[in-house]
Structure 1
Amino acid sequence: MGLWALLLGLGPLAWAEPEAAWQGDDASGVVAELVRQVASQDQRLRDFYALRDHRPAWQDADTVAAFTSALHTLESDGLHPQDYRPDELRARHREVYEQGADIEAQVQYDLFATRTLLTALGHLQRGKVDPGSLGTGWEVPVSKPDFSLAAVSGAIDQLRFEALINEVRPDFVPYQRLRSGLARYRNIERLGGWPRLPPREQSLRPGDVDDDVALLRERLTRIGELELVAVDSDAFPGAGLEAFDPRRYDGGLEAAVKRFQRRHLLEPDGVVGRQTLAALNVPVERRIDQIRLNMERARWLLHGLPESFVLVDIAGYRLSYFRPNGQIWRSRIVVGRPYRRTPSLRSEITHVTVNPTWTIPPTIKREDVLPRVRQDLGYLWRERIQVLSPSGTPLDPWEIDWDNPGNIVLRQAPGPQNALGQLVIRFPNDHMVYLHDTPSQDLFSREQRAFSSGCIRVENIRELAQLLMDDTHSEHDIEARIDSGETRNVSLANRMPVIIHYWTVNPGDDGELSFRPDIYERDDALLRELDRPLAL
């Protein structure tokens, strides 16, 4: 049921009851005071009370009780109900209405309660934290809440706060899966969490018999990993169920460990080494916080998405193209190193460049290329790098003082060994990043792939480029353009939205959560802001 359906479902009698209750000697005085005080409030409060003809919303104690009770459901969304002052709302209502406070105090309370409700709904729908305040190069505009104030007013009058919250809550499948995962991990926490495996000098391997294997088995059972794989009694001949030893690292446990490793972007080799042990020993409380802060990221982003778009998942090293026909094309990617981070942004793909040259950016030139050239000038010829003046005039490398080269431009010629490969997908942004091909195809086989200087390398990018051409009705044959050997920009007939974002928890199609390493160390800063007490 949508918000307007909720509103209309209240019926004419439902609207008449508050009007009937709103009769008394002080009615005109309260209305006049509301008109006076709301004039200095923000636009949404002014609009809300204008819809009600400046009729107060919070005079009845049952209304406040229903609201404060509903606030506690926000915990399932990773928000803190106490941010929205349920205890203060109830206490102040008693002070105002049981102790006979004047009209000015009554109106102040009404504005406070309404502001609290609108704030809570806005946080639930669009997020509590301003992403631009985190210093992460955020360029994705977070739209304002768009719920109906008329529906909010009607829900207050009919004490339908939980229904209102359910309507405002994001209904996107990834968000709902994160919410379900949060409930699941909180239940694990209530049951005592999971055991911690002690530090080890030697890795645990299939076939080992060790007390720590029993702990490993219990750890994976707590999260249901072993419920999803069968114990392989054939892995060790003669070992039937009657001979099962929880201390033995058998085939079933190995399969569960590999599944765990894949969900944590670790090499799925079944060996419990240093990295796998560290992931196993992350406390359940930390995993809960990770889920909460990624729900916040979802609230920022999962609104107003177009029918088709390209989504770049930085921490998951994955690109997904949601095509107009409903199909999803996916590929592995390489992203920026922690000290050359790929930014989060939203833009639109405008064109591709086939057989690109590469003008080496200042940072890479200063930190990577010039030190190599100073050691060996032949590096320029091997890498087919041309030295140019700022105006594009070719310069003789032998005449350059490489200790103080001045304002020169270094440009790599097109070809298969060009750092950008043979194709670049471009979109306007202030960070000069783009999607591109690469001669270093071997990097795509790694589980963790933060190796670039900020741009995004895409496996099978030619296929992606051709799909973009086909889906935007752009009549270009990408392979033929590349085979021509010419450097050329090829425009899309219609722009394609692209979103580059950072997720350290991802819900899979099966509902299972994948936890990714926080390669850019962004989680803690967001968690601090998410947990910061709210000033209303």
Structure 2
Amino acid sequence: MIRVAFLLFACTALPMVGPVAAQDAAPEAKAIGEILAVGAPPLIDIDAALGAEAVAALRNTYTLRGNRPIWFVTAAAPAARALIDRLTQSDLTIGNNLQPLLDAARARTYESGVDSRAAADLLLSALYSATARALRPKDAPAGFAAALDALSASTDPIALLSEPEPVAPAPVAEAPKVETPPAVEAPKVETPPPAPPPPESPEQARIKAALASLQDWPVIPDGPKLALGDAGPRVEALGKHLIASGDLKAETAGAEFDLPLKSALENFQRRHGLPPDGVMGAGTLAALNVPAKDRAASLERNIARSQARQWGERYLVVNLAAARYRLVDKGSTIVEGPAILGAVATPTPVLDAAIDRVELRPSYRIPQSVADRQLWPRQEEDALYFINHGIRVTDDGLRQVPGAGNPLGLAKLLIAGNNRIALHGAPGGEQNQAAFDAPERHANLGCVALPNIAALVKALLAADPAWTEGRIDGALAVGGTQVVALAQPVPVHFVYDTAWIDADGTLQFRDDIYGWDKEMPGAEVNTVPEPCGS
């Protein structure tokens, strides 16, 4: 059983300057300050698009204004929406480097969370400062920093988005009328027909086909389990449902539970993250009876969330809803597998950051409550209990030595700027492997436990020629704890996708385990200290 401890994450707010200090309590200001303090996204994206000088200018300007938002002064945020509309008008063309920033700003502007609004505020300020001369060629300041300073000083950002209205000229005396000859009518020129719309992309075709497949299907009445060999009206209703969902390739449904029906049910179960046993039990029945319109709405929400993602060629993604992870490099999946994540009461948070260090053979500080309640009584009964279980008494409490039996496994992947959440291995043995094979894997205190951490460590250290596969195997097998800085930090994304479309068009759904599908959380969702040990 994986034990996970918690580490309290303390952060220091940026100092306030001048008269704006009274507004330090604004939640968006606090969120902006945290983003700037740790260099979290979207600063990484702004740096990639505009360079380090632009990021430095943003830090300086927002620090001087106490991190108060520029575009999200009110809940309606009319200035933010006005800038997005202006940058998408046909008379204005922005560079390819700015388009990902605009897409991300648009997506985050229409999300409800404080963190999203804070990120959108930084993105919109970067976009304005980079396009100010295009918005107002006559009087906008030249240069990113100068435009940003003018924006921060303005009380009406909307007025900066277009040229000022020209002053009406003074009236002049009317000139005497001069008769002009009638104009000669110009010959008519036939207007060419409009160009046809661009062809549908493969991604658009997959989305269109997936939404079209979510047609109404019959509700299956409650009752006992259905399996191969059963028969009756409920079996027929099951067949009609699987025909409507596209899992059963047949024209009509029969009343007997035969092998084709079992195979179709197994396919449905795989697509919904259920054990593919071909038996319609309570969990499968509940998934079958979710209305098609609810499935379609969930798919559309997930597509909207995913369209703003610009992750590059190499990244590690953890889907919290599916409890799975994968490492991607140049479009190919290098390592993937199941993960054990936070329980409903202690959920693993959504995040965008980077893994910058690997801790080999970590030790594990046992929570004091566990030590007092479970371990010290056992030591009193058996004087060799701590020795036999690799537990040492230290100045900060009980600590379990590194090794295969350690709750953190053989390695821990550390996230830059985040001392609370990490990815780590797991103890060996059949019992722990069974936990990764279970269909429900939301069971720990909030960190991400992975079954084959050694393969992931080797993939992450592959860019460092000093760490050969043999050296990694040796460091994982024996010795003390080592912390290795990655030669190339790897972006890591924790997402909450309850619906998606595979590359082959297969439509996938997962339970809304955390209840975030309709609205993503805007604040820290897991406040328990030391979720991953220390």
Secondary structure at the counterpart of residue 434 of structure 1: strand
Partner of 2:210: 181
Higher relative CO (CA 8 A, sep ≥ 6), structure 1 or 2? 2
Matched, 1:226 2:248: yes
One-letter amino acid matched to 2:211: L
- Residue 389 of structure 1 deviates from its aligned partner by 2.9
Q: Counterparts in 2 of 1:97-116, with a 5 A limit? A: none
Partner of 1:435: 423
What CA deviation, in whole Å up to 9, does each residue of 1:480-520 have, x standing for no partner? 21123222112211211111111111222221211101111
Partner of 1:262: 270
- Residue 431 of structure 1 deviates from its aligned partner by 5.8
One-letter amino acid matched to 1:280: L
Secondary structure at the counterpart of residue 420 of structure 2: coil
Q: Is the 8 A contact 1:333 1:459 kept in 2?
A: yes
Distance in 2, matches of 1:251 and 1:291, equals 30
Select which of 489, 499, 504 maps to 1:495.
489
- Residue 259 of structure 1 deviates from its aligned partner by 0.8
Partner of 1:306: 312
One-letter amino acid matched to 1:426: L
One-letter amino acid matched to 1:334: I
Q: Counterparts in 2 of 1:432-471, with a 5 A limit? A: 432-439=420-427, 440-471=432-463
Tell me the TM-score normalised to structure 2 length. Answer: 0.59
Select which of 479, 500, 509 maps to 2:503.
509
Matched, 1:359 2:347: no
One-letter amino acid matched to 2:293: E
Distance in 2, matches of 1:349 and 1:49, equals 37
Structure 2: state its 5+ residue gaps: 1-76, 92-101, 137-193, 523-534
One-letter amino acid matched to 1:348: A
Select which of 286, 302, 315 maps to 1:278.
286
Q: Is the 8 A contact 1:126 1:143 kept in 2?
A: no
Select which of 245, 248, 251 maps to 2:256.
248
Distance in 1, matches of 2:306 and 2:331, equals 24
Report the count of equivalent residues: 365
- Residue 525 of structure 1 deviates from its aligned partner by 3.5
What CA deviation, in whole Å up to 9, does each residue of 1:252-281 have, x standing for no partner? 000010111111111111110100000001
Partner of 1:350: 356
Q: Is the 8 A contact 2:410 2:453 kept in 1?
A: no
Question: CA 1:491 to 1:278, structure 2 compared with 1: closer, same or farther past 3 Å?
Answer: same
One-letter amino acid matched to 2:494: I
Question: CA 1:151 to 1:253, structure 2 compared with 1: closer, same or farther past 3 Å?
Answer: farther
Distance in 1, matches of 2:477 and 2:219, equals 56
Distance in 2, matches of 1:247 and 1:308, equals 50
Matched, 1:483 2:477: yes
Question: CA 1:206 to 1:152, structure 2 compared with 1: closer, same or farther past 3 Å?
Answer: farther
What CA deviation, in whole Å up to 9, does each residue of 1:74-100 have, x standing for no partner? xxxxxxxxxxxxxxxxxxxxxxxxxxx
Q: Is the 8 A contact 1:466 1:478 kept in 2?
A: yes
- Residue 451 of structure 1 deviates from its aligned partner by 2.1
Structure 1: state its 5+ residue gaps: 1-39, 58-119, 154-161, 232-243, 391-408, 529-536
- Residue 292 of structure 1 deviates from its aligned partner by 2.2
- Residue 457 of structure 1 deviates from its aligned partner by 1.3
Q: Is the 8 A contact 2:231 2:257 kept in 1?
A: yes
Select which of 403, 407, 422 maps to 1:419.
407
Q: Is the 8 A contact 1:505 1:514 kept in 2?
A: yes
- Residue 465 of structure 1 deviates from its aligned partner by 0.8
Q: Is the 8 A contact 2:274 2:439 kept in 1?
A: yes
Q: Counterparts in 2 of 1:362-381, with a 5 A limit? A: 365-366=368-369, 368-373=370-375, 376-377=378-379
Q: Is the 8 A contact 1:352 1:491 kept in 2?
A: yes
Distance in 1, matches of 2:411 and 2:292, equals 44
Distance in 1, matches of 2:283 and 2:458, equals 39
Distance in 2, matches of 1:509 and 1:272, equals 28
- Residue 459 of structure 1 deviates from its aligned partner by 2.4
- Residue 121 of structure 1 deviates from its aligned partner by 8.1
Matched, 1:128 2:116: no
Q: Percent identity between the aligned chains?
A: 27
Partner of 2:329: 323
Distance in 2, matches of 1:289 and 1:338, equals 23
Matched, 1:217 2:239: yes
Distance in 1, matches of 2:257 and 2:449, equals 39
Tell me the TM-score normalised to structure 1 length. Answer: 0.59
Partner of 1:30: none
Distance in 2, matches of 1:251 and 1:458, equals 35
Secondary structure at the counterpart of residue 292 of structure 1: helix
Secondary structure at the counterpart of residue 340 of structure 2: strand
Matched, 1:198 2:221: yes
What CA deviation, in whole Å up to 9, does each residue of 1:386-438 have, x standing for no partner? 34334xxxxxxxxxxxxxxxxxx332111111001111111124461211110
Partner of 1:17: none
- Residue 151 of structure 1 deviates from its aligned partner by 11
Question: CA 1:526 to 1:415, structure 2 compared with 1: closer, same or farther past 3 Å?
Answer: closer
- Residue 454 of structure 1 deviates from its aligned partner by 1.1
Q: Which structure has greater helix proportion? A: 1
Partner of 2:391: 385
Q: Is the 8 A contact 2:359 2:413 kept in 1?
A: yes
Distance in 2, matches of 1:141 and 1:416, equals 46
Q: Is the 8 A contact 1:353 1:426 kept in 2?
A: yes
Q: Is the 8 A contact 2:108 2:116 kept in 1?
A: no
Question: CA 1:254 to 1:139, structure 2 compared with 1: closer, same or farther past 3 Å?
Answer: farther
